Structure 1
Amino acid sequence: MERVWLNRAMHVGFFLLLAASASRLLFRHGLNQESIRNVSLAAGLGVVYAAGVVFWRRLGHRGRLAWLVVVLLLWLVLVELAPSFSWCAIPLFFVCLRLLSPPLTIVAATVLTVAVIVAQIYLADSFDPSQVLAPVAVAAMTVVIFWELRRAGILEERERLSREIHDTIAQGLTSQRMLLQAADRAWESDPGRARSYLRQAMAQAGDNLEEARRFVRDLGPADLAGRSLPDALKAISDDFRQEGVEYPLDPKTQAVLLRVAQGALANAREHAHADRVVVTLSYLEGEVTLDVFDDGVGFDQAVPGPGRGYGLRGMRDRLAEVGGSLVVESVPGEGTAVAARIPS
């Protein structure tokens, strides 16, 4: 998964280091033919780098690789002419790590590290081991940190997709299965009712397809497209109640509350066998709350049962992302109450 903030920070860092290197060059050597040439080359490198950032999506993977090769070649020439520009190596490390396969990343990191070592030795009055050890240590730490961030991003994206699949596709398929089973039972005795169930199943399939497209693009729930949170909750529940005066909520908060409601309703339908489910959305001072109560079979919270663990954990994970919390109260034979709280 792309870490947008990290990419932007590295781009900004590159331009700042490029400007710092150019200022150091002019400060130490003044305006002469050689310094003007080197600063002009640095400006050209900056333009090429900026063009790649601006047209990143249009370039495609091959275009980005070609752009990276040009940037690295220009930088190596610049470091050969003016070693102080070796400071730009760190953001270039990150670009290599972002675009290249692990074997090519190692090659690129080695080339960049060697160039920095040579530049440090050239700039120093005398040799000492830190001129070799420091660049090697920085390169190693950069590679390890970036790969760890990438691994964490992949795990985070997998968790997001698993929650979305559980709360949309899995629940939708369960509903379709129930509708199709009902249609099969009514096929001989009541063809009209069977066709009604089939139409509902087809509509459910269409809704599932739209939800799948949206969560792959990391968009909000389709039920919130063009409607408020109370309206979306009314659409998915038979008994909806609103308390307090509605006020604007962050889109992420609305999406989380809707997903929690969908998960709680699915649990009540699939596991609790409830006759009645009441959904209450309360706009309070300083927080918004969502309560879902069903009169189903309930369960013993000390004894995890099939189908309950992941759904409740997914609700808690979603709420934690927006600073919220979840409380579940249930007694066998007396129903279940799910209460979500999010600071507003």
Structure 2
Amino acid sequence: MRRLGGRVLDFLTIEPLRIRSILRLILIALIALLVHYTKVEHRNDAVFTAVLIAYAVGAVAWLIFLIKNPARWWFGWASTFTDVAIVLVLCIASGPATISLYPIFFLLPISVAFLDSPVITGLLGLSASFGYLLAWAAYATQDQEMGGTIPALVYVQVGCLLWFTAAITALSFTLARRRARVLGLLDVRRRLIAESMRADERNNRELSEHLHDGPLQNLLAARLDLDELRDNPSPEGFDRLDAALRETVTALRTTVATLHPQVLSQLGLTAAVRDLTQRFQQRWGTPVQADLEDVGRPDAQALIHRAARELLSNAHKHSRATSLEVKLHRRPGGTVLQVSDDGVGFDPAILARRVSEGHIGLASLVVAVEAVGGSMDFSPHPGGGTLVKVTVPDQLGSDHFT
């Protein structure tokens, strides 16, 4: 799991850097073409050309380096610092011909947009916009032909830069939130898998103890009774043997029904959910109102049955509900299960914390439902309590599992 999480983290880090490097190369080529076709005269043509060529060669080498090497935390900041330094050098070498470098100012906010830092992206974009305006103000005061007046086109260009800064900052904000969500999901998934493995171990141990202390002991007692009956046949002995065997059969049936409800495979989902609600009422004494439509045998019936069992169990353990309602209906393309109670309510935001505390039942159910293309929605129930709506599509792809 660590290896998978590390690969995802590397992808989230290195892939944006590669995209930036490709965009940088395209922008350098466009600047070279722009300067060539506009035939502007720079303050120092030799220095400008040398810096631009070195910039292009360095950009190609940097892209190759990123392709062949894993990500490091300083890669993004190093490339950003280099971009800013190159832009400054090109502006100084260009002098009043900076207008031909206008597209390169778009590079500055882009250079940090992929670093998931909206604040720095916005600050650098604003610096590029007003830096371009200040450069023109300085050139206007030095150029006698301009008479100290900045051309109106420059203000339009600055407006474009400001608009671009706002757009790229919003993009950076979106990327930062998405990255945080992905990393959060990876962390929850890691903890969920770890807790699931521990839960499997606990369940196996409990099942082993249950079989050992129940059916196995009954069978051993029945064998002793059988040995005794061979020597001293008596009605009491046969009664004890019959009782032990009946108790063993009942215990094994209960265990098998827990592992895989027989009614689900024989009679379908609706009958299995009805049986589940009836057994819940008998065991805990909490009334359950069932509104169950015949939904047939959807592909995900085992998952829906598991959802009903888990939600009823949670309602008993945590909600302190005095009554529940279970609905099962068909919808175009899917099956909908609704479980509502009149308990204390539930905040789905605590799922991640409950996973860290070792409670994985509901969290793993949410993951399983979403894995098959379904959804689980939690909402307050009118009058108090919680309403949980589970929607699962009828047809599942081969890559889905329950």
What is the TM-score when the length of structure 1 is the normalising length? 0.52
Contact 1:21–1:87 (8 Å) recurs in 2: yes
Q: What aligned pairs does 1:11-50 form with structure 2 within 5 A after superposition?
A: 11-29=21-39, 34-35=44-45, 37-50=47-60
1:132 aligns with 2:144: no
1:18 Cα deviation after fit: 1.3
Q: What aligned pairs does 1:173-252 form with structure 2 within 5 A after superposition?
A: 173-181=198-206
CA offsets 1:67-108 (integer angstroms, 9 cap, x no match) = 432332122111333323341333432332444866655553
1:302 aligns with 2:327: no
User: Distance between the aligned counterparts of 2:171 and 2:118, measured in 1?
Assistant: 14
User: Distance between the aligned counterparts of 1:157 and 1:35, measured in 2?
Assistant: 48
Q: Equivalent residue for 2:218? A: none
Q: 1:174 to 1:44 in 2, by over 3 A?
A: same
SS at match of 1:315: helix
Q: Equivalent residue for 2:333? A: none
1:150 Cα deviation after fit: 1.6
Aligned residue identity for 2:367: G
1:88 aligns with 2:124: no
CA offsets 1:273-309 (integer angstroms, 9 cap, x no match) = 436698xxxxxxxxxx966749x89654321699775
Q: 1:272 to 1:81 in 2, by over 3 A?
A: farther
Q: What aligned pairs does 1:1-344 form with structure 2 within 5 A after superposition?
A: 2=12, 7-29=17-39, 34-35=44-45, 37-56=47-66, 57=69, 60-62=72-74, 64-82=76-94, 83=98, 84-99=100-115, 105=121, 107-118=123-134, 126-127=151-152, 129-163=155-189, 165-166=191-192, 168-181=193-206, 272-274=258-260, 293=302, 299=309, 300=326, 301-303=337-339, 310-320=363-373, 341-342=396-397
Q: 1:180 to 1:92 in 2, by over 3 A?
A: farther
Aligned residue identity for 2:202: R
Q: 1:338 to 1:65 in 2, by over 3 A?
A: closer
User: Distance between the aligned counterparts of 1:148 and 1:28, measured in 2?
Assistant: 37
SS at match of 2:73: helix
CA offsets 1:159-196 (integer angstroms, 9 cap, x no match) = 35434643x2232111122344467789999xxxxxxx
Aligned residue identity for 1:317: E
User: Distance between the aligned counterparts of 1:114 and 1:3, measured in 2?
Assistant: 30
CA offsets 1:18-45 (integer angstroms, 9 cap, x no match) = 1111111111227999545423311211
User: Distance between the aligned counterparts of 1:36 and 1:309, measured in 2?
Assistant: 68
Aligned residue identity for 1:113: S
User: Distance between the aligned counterparts of 1:175 and 1:45, measured in 2?
Assistant: 57
User: Distance between the aligned counterparts of 1:135 and 1:32, measured in 2?
Assistant: 23
Q: Equivalent residue for 1:211? A: none
SS at match of 1:60: coil
Q: 1:317 to 1:118 in 2, by over 3 A?
A: farther
User: Distance between the aligned counterparts of 1:104 and 1:275, measured in 2?
Assistant: 57
User: Distance between the aligned counterparts of 1:110 and 1:43, measured in 2?
Assistant: 27
Size of the aligned set, in residue pairs, is 241
RMSD in angstroms over aligned alpha carbons?
4.8
CA offsets 1:238-271 (integer angstroms, 9 cap, x no match) = xxxxxxxxxxxxxxxxxxxxxxxxxxxxxxx9x9
User: Distance between the aligned counterparts of 1:180 and 1:93, measured in 2?
Assistant: 58
- Structure 2 unmatched runs, 5+: 1-8, 141-145, 215-254, 266-297, 310-325, 327-336, 347-359, 377-391
Q: 1:75 to 1:153 in 2, by over 3 A?
A: same
User: Distance between the aligned counterparts of 2:209 and 2:21, measured in 1?
Assistant: 60
Q: 1:290 to 1:174 in 2, by over 3 A?
A: same
Contact 1:49–1:71 (8 Å) recurs in 2: no
Task: Flag the structure with larger Rg.
Answer: 2
User: Distance between the aligned counterparts of 1:3 and 1:316, measured in 2?
Assistant: 30
User: Distance between the aligned counterparts of 2:32 and 2:133, measured in 1?
Assistant: 19
Contact 2:369–2:375 (8 Å) recurs in 1: yes
Give me the identity figure in percent. 12
What is the TM-score when the length of structure 2 is the normalising length? 0.46
Contact 1:97–1:143 (8 Å) recurs in 2: yes
